[in-house]
Structure 1
């Protein structure tokens, strides 16, 4: 019977809120989802942490909302996944994206549906997503996610999550980083010594302090976001969470989007909405609420009398930025401090949580004396190419809406756009042809909404693992196709095992992986020999032996090794070493593999991020503003 590793988060010893520690093992700048997740992941490993946030912990704006399978795996590890699932939609009908002219309105073509695609594991994608992970995709606006993470972080690191504390200086010394912190309430200035610092502040302060250069284009397109309450129950679309709006009056440009954010309904009956309107839609004074409301009503086809209540708003611009360094001495950049890209694809928050999961097990291993400081260099080696890929992909996704407008025949000539829209709805051969063309362009958005290859299939080309020389399965740049594999650098394949646990609950292969140290995964028949060989290995890195029954057909098909082979798996479930069958000297082979992993692996001769930086620049050059 398999023994799954239960998700447990033992709190650090409490410290009083009015007492300031003079030192800590890891100081975290920033109290957003990345910083809070880092605090919990490190606390889970028994690492002393201190998180400082320059603002308070009152969360005012929805921001990100999509939580993909890999993110939910990390949240499962820190005991927050169940709370997220309990607070998000209980049905799957929200899993699609739609395109309309307007939501409603009196005009002939108002409220006209242009097309739709399945999204986030919905419809025909459901089985593919289920096979990729034991944790389902979730939807929770950051307005509600952040308070949940904050509560859990307070419980995990009591007294160590401090508000209105601004980092104003970092002095790097040989054995520590001395962090100067300004209390924005009292004006007091204090210093805290930290072994390491995680900058998860969105780059607001850390970028200038560290002098880290960001590569890529800035300020490519301006968008105005509104968090509002309004009644859209008259919209003919019953279920979609996300709607895009294209109209002849906008030419080839998308007017904007709406996203249902609940809190009880995530469809046309949603009480609150996140509305994103292209800045060019706002006519008149951009600070005048009447002008802002007018842009919303125009986009959605609502009358001037339609009631809208504004909760908050923000302006932002599309960027495609990747830091040249993710590590600067004892300081590590994570999340938006290290990379910024458009929200298309929903990869911002998710990539930040991946940063946290990648970095924190390595920090814990180094601080516990289980690995050399060189292991921490693998953080940049692994994460920078991935977020460069994500940035390029997000910018390319942003360019997938104008072709829909062009297929509809929208252009600078508004009257011609209306004539072509009439053809689009006509029951004629010309109408059939235009609808087919529009559908083809809508379907291309599967690269955005069915991007399982990006969300679950990302893998590392260099870093803390031992390459085995095998080829990457499939096309590594395909954002849609997902190929489960045990190839080193890839995510451990997920299968539901034939045997349940002692409580009768289903167990995934993922559930066998230890939260601390490395896990050697092998078959039940080979476990005794591997356990004996592991005892001969001299290492400070904890090593857990996990086994799966030889006759588990699903695992035998997925493992890609013989029954006497083994997989060495990291806490972030990346395969670190694969041996297809029992080596002549298993202990020596395991020793050699551990030596590579704990020093952070080897580096390639070329920069794996460079091809994606080229794509970033190319996508930025054609982005429709």
Structure 2
């Protein structure tokens, strides 16, 4: 999607990945989009301009593309507060591989409630999410030792090799961007930049990946970005996404016992 061109820091061609680059400015025009990126070169920050036919913003909810366009998010905030505990335990990973292999575990028992996310069973990389209710709870209450005790209760066994790497708060929102297109439909928001909702059950991951794959397949097919049918193609994609999001948001609200229009 990027036009080849010569710059001070080397040529820029198609199908290239630039690591360590941050988008700091976007300028749209009828013929394309210019993205200014900042990066570290020889110990100093430098900038580079990248000419694009289209820009797809997939940099998350708090990043620069959507905010630089002045597009806000609408919906419900603070649906649920949780504490995310990133930890390592090869013992737990091996236990799950042998007995209950999986990626997402919803655990409810008389002693504890939590969601265990297995990022890598072989290496024992996990994230544990537990309910958090301020002001009754404080983040400081969740010490490494307390989190270890929670893990033991949830796993049902005393793990010997637990290494707590990080403990931080996490908030669940149900929001969608005011619009997904900007600058003559040449800038497109996708993923968390366009919407964020509960990841429970993998719906969030699956929907985001599906939409982004669909978009890039359409961009690739028959050089559609040069076709007069491009606008209708993108709009059909956007309408499909909006229809899906409305259904999903209504479904989640119904699950919480709320009425939706």
For the criterion TM > 0.5, the same-fold answer is yes
The answer to whether the aligner puts 1:202 opposite 2:83 as a matched pair is no
**CA deviation map 1:273-301 (0-9, x unaligned):** 33222224977725743343344334445
Q: CA deviation at 1:334?
A: 0.7
Q: Which has the larger radius of gyration?
A: 1
Mapping of residues 412-423 of structure 1, within 5 Å: none
| Counterpart position of 1:238 | 99
**CA deviation map 1:120-139 (0-9, x unaligned):** xxxxxxxxxxxxxxxxxxxx
Q: CA deviation at 1:165?
A: 0.8
Structure showing greater relative contact order (alpha-carbon pairs closer than 8 Å, 6 or more residues apart): 2
Aligned mates of 1:283, 1:315 — CA distance in 2 = 10
TM-score, structure 2 length as denominator?
A: 0.76
| Counterpart position of 1:315 | 169
Mapping of residues 167-246 of structure 1, within 5 Å: 167-184=23-40, 186-203=44-61, 204-230=63-89, 231-232=91-92, 238-239=99-100, 241=102, 242-246=104-108
Q: Is the 8 A contact 2:111 2:153 kept in 1?
A: no
Q: CA deviation at 1:359?
A: 1.9
Which secondary structure does the structure 1 equivalent of 2:127 belong to?
Answer: strand
Which secondary structure does the structure 2 equivalent of 1:285 belong to?
Answer: helix
The answer to whether the aligner puts 1:325 opposite 2:179 as a matched pair is yes
Q: Is the 8 A contact 1:227 1:310 kept in 2?
A: yes
Mapping of residues 243-322 of structure 1, within 5 Å: 243-248=105-110, 255-264=113-122, 271-280=124-133, 285=140, 288-300=143-155, 306-322=160-176
Aligned mates of 1:207, 1:184 — CA distance in 2 = 23
| Richer in strand (by share) | 2
Which secondary structure does the structure 2 equivalent of 1:346 belong to?
Answer: helix
Change (3 A) 1:307 1:360: closer
Aligned-residue Cα RMSD (Å) equals 3.5
Q: Is the 8 A contact 1:282 1:295 kept in 2?
A: no
Which secondary structure does the structure 2 equivalent of 1:187 belong to?
Answer: strand
Aligned mates of 2:57, 2:141 — CA distance in 1 = 33
Change (3 A) 1:195 1:261: closer
User: How many residues are matched?
Assistant: 243
Aligned mates of 2:253, 2:108 — CA distance in 1 = 19
Which secondary structure does the structure 2 equivalent of 1:258 belong to?
Answer: strand
| Counterpart position of 1:385 | 243
Q: Is the 8 A contact 2:71 2:178 kept in 1?
A: yes
Q: CA deviation at 1:311?
A: 4.0
The answer to whether the aligner puts 1:19 opposite 2:10 as a matched pair is yes
Q: Is the 8 A contact 2:27 2:33 kept in 1?
A: yes
Q: CA deviation at 1:386?
A: 1.1
Change (3 A) 1:243 1:377: closer
TM-score, structure 1 length as denominator?
A: 0.34
**CA deviation map 1:392-431 (0-9, x unaligned):** 445656x5xxxxxxxxxxxxxxxxxxxxxxxxxxxxxxxx
Q: Is the 8 A contact 1:227 1:312 kept in 2?
A: yes
Aligned mates of 1:320, 1:278 — CA distance in 2 = 17
Aligned mates of 1:223, 1:243 — CA distance in 2 = 16
Aligned mates of 1:217, 1:183 — CA distance in 2 = 35
Aligned mates of 2:125, 2:37 — CA distance in 1 = 37
Aligned mates of 1:350, 1:291 — CA distance in 2 = 33
Consecutive unaligned residues of structure 2, counting only runs of 5 or more, are: none
The answer to whether the aligner puts 1:347 opposite 2:203 as a matched pair is yes
Aligned mates of 1:288, 1:387 — CA distance in 2 = 37
Change (3 A) 1:323 1:234: closer
Q: CA deviation at 1:306?
A: 4.3
Aligned mates of 1:169, 1:286 — CA distance in 2 = 41
Which secondary structure does the structure 2 equivalent of 1:178 belong to?
Answer: strand
Q: CA deviation at 1:272?
A: 3.8
